[in-house]
Structures are given as structure tokens and as C-alpha cells.
Amino acid sequence: MTTTDANPNSLGFRLYIIITLAYWAFTLTDGAIHMLVVLHFHNLGFSPIAIAFLFLFYEIFGIITNGVGGWIATRIGLNRTMVIGGFLQVCALGMLAVDPSWLSVSYVMTAMALSGIAKDLNKMSAKAGVKLVTPQGANAESRLFRSVAILTGSKNTLKGAGFFLGALLLQVLGFQHTLMAMSATLFLVYLLTWWVLPGSMGISRTKSKISQIFSNSREINLLSAARFFLFGSRDVWFVVGLPVFLQSVVGWNHVKVGSFLALWVVCYGFVQAGAPLLLQGKRHPTGATARNVAFLLAAAPAGIALALLQGYDPALALIVGLGLFGIIFAINSSVHSYLILSYSDNEKVAMNVGFYYSANAAGRLTGTLLSGWAFQTYGLTGCLWWSTGFVLAAALLSVMLPGENPPDSAPPWHRGGGARPRCC
């Protein structure tokens, strides 16, 4: 079937499903590998700072990958960057499934570097791909918001399932066998993805220079800076401080910690996917939406910190506080994910998304390192005050975003003048 005789709405939906399913499979392993590494190396006696450093290259290479990956995608296509990311994750999982005597800090950091490259190639490819396959017709911007919210929300739900899967399989199968099983399964998934996704998707008609990976758009630069602080505010207490606190202070075992964090991320993903319904007063959000939700978000980590300082039951304070934080954070993240696509034209969408997620990865790196240091120095309350400051910084940057976005318009591939993607 050719592009000319294909139903464009059906064509775009089919591509959207393929991208989403591949991204889901990858996300399960991404969540699992995080929980496996944190819990396994905590059991081996690693300090919180040492555990944080295991993720150092994961985040550093994520920053580099997002910036360069968008430029690469405009030349070789989003299909290839997505598949390369999948196979790199297969290699990372295989590297960790070796004899435990090989698992030095430098070796694990190298494996996590591959996983970081893989994760951000997949994220950039999937998010940019949604922009390209959104069907034509009226209400294109509203449809784009719904599509990216569903993709992002479902991804985070699956990442939560990955947390649970990693913690459960660590206790049932052990570290090595869990990694081997995930590596083999993911290999099959991305072999199929490589075969079914159109190879030309996302290739730019004009060859951009590598220097053009840095955006010259004020809106994209502001949104990227806000994204840096938004995701730093989460990871500064979520990556190391929270799971270690739950295990060492609250007294929960592996499965309880993994199950709780998994449930949180699953619910977070549902809220993120449902953000268009929660914000139904608008056809699509604006910069003002990002600002208002960010200011509201700052109250959550501050409230948890105050509750812990006042001597309230830590488990109850964290369960209630994390619920509020997750709901508001999910809405804010969903708004951001839509705005970066709305602010981008078709020709530069991969590069803009890559640049934006470089800021995202830089925020995660900063938050991860601060999480280990702040927890070891000031405890979980110190992590939470850092989180509050980061959220306020994101809110202040969002104040400068435009109050209105482009109106609903023509389909994305028509707006940019590019060719409509072909399906297999």
C-alpha cells in the first residue's frame, strides 16, 4: 500500500502504536535496571554517595546523547536511532549479567553509560516520532497533546511496573538471571521494531550542521531550563535518598520498597496520561499552565520535609506527600512534553526534542548526585528542601514562557513541509 492510497489517520495511528509498544518494552527494563542496581549494591554495603555515582555516566551520556541524537536522527531517521537505543540496552543488561567479581564501580558505571545512551535515544525518537505521526485535520494541537500525554503517561506506568519487576525478580531469580532474561526479551522486541518501522521517518530534507543542536528559540531555551530544574527536583530525593530511607529508616524490605515506588510511578503515569482530561478547561495547555502547576508543586516537598521535622510518622508522611507530589508533577511534566512539540517545527523537531531532553538529563544528573550527597549529609529532609528550591526555579522560568501557543492547525508533516511518513 502506498502513501497516496493509505488513510492518513490510520497510517499515523499505526505508526503511533508501533512506537509506543517498542517504547513500553524498553521502559520496563529501564525501571527494572534502576531498582536492581540501587537495591543490589545497597545490600553489598555501598554508601548512598557510591550508589549515586553508579548512575553518573548514565546521566552524563544521556545529556550528550540527547544533544547529538537529535542531529543524527535528522540524517539516518528516527527508526534507526530508536532501534540502536534498544540494542544498546540489550548490551548494557548483558554486561551486568556477568560473574559478580567483575562488577567493580567502573565496570557498572560503563554499563550504565550504555543504558543512558540507549534510554535517551529511545525517548528522543519516540517523542519526536509522535509529532510526525499525529493525524491531519482539525484540532491537531489538541490531538498532539493527547497523544504525547498517553505515550508519556503509559511509559511512566510501565517504568513503575519495571521497578516492581526488578525488585521482585531480584528476590526470586537473583541479579544475574533477571538481567539475562530481560536482555534476551528486549533483543527480540527491537529486532521486530527494526523490521516494521519505516526507515525514512524523521529524516530532514535539509542537512543541519552539528552546531545547530543548540536552539536559538527563546521559548525552547526557557522550557529546557525549566525542565532541568523540574526533573532535578524529583531525582534529588527519589533516586537514592527515598529508597535507602525506606529500607534503612522505615524498615521495609526489597519487595516493599520496590512495590511502593512501582505503585507510585504507575499512578503517576496514569495521571500523566489523563492530564488532557484534568485540564479540560483548555483545548491545549500554555506556558501559563506550566507556571501555575509548578508553583503548586513546590508545596509538596516542603510539606513532607516539615512533616518529618515535626516528628510525624515517616511512612504516613511519605505516602501522603508522595501522592500529592506525583499528581502535580505528572500534570506539569505532561504539559512540558506537549509544549516542546508545540514550539517545534517539523524540520527541527528531532533536534529541538534532543536539546530539550539534554536539559532533562542534566537535571536528572544534578538531582542524582545531590540525592546521594544531601541524604548522606542532611538526611531525607535535606533532599526535600533542595527539591523545593528546584521546583521554585522551574516555576520562575515558566513565568517567562508565552501565555498562548499556536492555534490548532494543519498536520505536523504539512506544517513543516516534509513528506508524510510511509508505513511498512
Average pLDDT of the residues of the chain: 79
Find the Cα–Cα–Cα–Cα dihedral 168, 174, 177, 178, rounded to 10°: 30
pLDDT digits (tens, 9 = 90+) for 288-333: 889 999 999 999 999 999 999 998 998 899 889 989 999 999 999 8
Whether 416 is covered by a domain: the verdict is no
Whether 328 is covered by a domain: the verdict is yes
392-405 average pLDDT score: 85
**Per-residue pLDDT, 89:** 92
Whether 319 is covered by a domain: the verdict is yes
Whether 209 is covered by a domain: the verdict is no
Pick from 317, 302, 299: which is nearest to 250 by CA? 317
Residue 295 and residue 293: Cα distance in Å, rounded? 6
pLDDT digits (tens, 9 = 90+) for 160-217: 778 777 778 777 887 788 888 888 888 998 888 788 766 656 555 555 555 555 556 7
Whether 415 is covered by a domain: the verdict is no
Pick from 131, 176, 134: which is nearest to 13 by CA? 134
**Using 50, 70 and 90 to split pLDDT, how confident is the model at 417?**
very low
**Using 50, 70 and 90 to split pLDDT, how confident is the model at 12?**
low
Q: Which residue has the cell 526479551?
A: 185
212-223 average pLDDT score: 75
62-84 average pLDDT score: 78
How many structural domains does the chain have? 1
Residue 159 and residue 156: Cα distance in Å, rounded? 5
**Using 50, 70 and 90 to split pLDDT, how confident is the model at 97?**
confident
Spell out the residues 6+ positions from residue 178 whose beta carbon is closer than 8 angstroms to its own.
32, 36, 166, 169, 170
Spell out the residues 6+ positions from residue 205 whose beta carbon is closer than 8 angstroms to its own.
347, 417, 418
Whether 239 is covered by a domain: the verdict is yes
Find the Cα–Cα–Cα–Cα dihedral 163, 165, 166, 169, rounded to 10°: 160
**Per-residue pLDDT, 98:** 82
Most confident of the ranges 70-84, 288-302, 350-364? 288-302
Whether 76 is covered by a domain: the verdict is yes
**Using 50, 70 and 90 to split pLDDT, how confident is the model at 404?**
low
Question: CATH number of the domain that 269 lies in?
Answer: 1.20.1250.20
Whether 89 is covered by a domain: the verdict is yes
- Per the structure, the complete domain to which residue 125 belongs is given by 8-203+216-404
398: three-class secondary structure by DSSP = helix
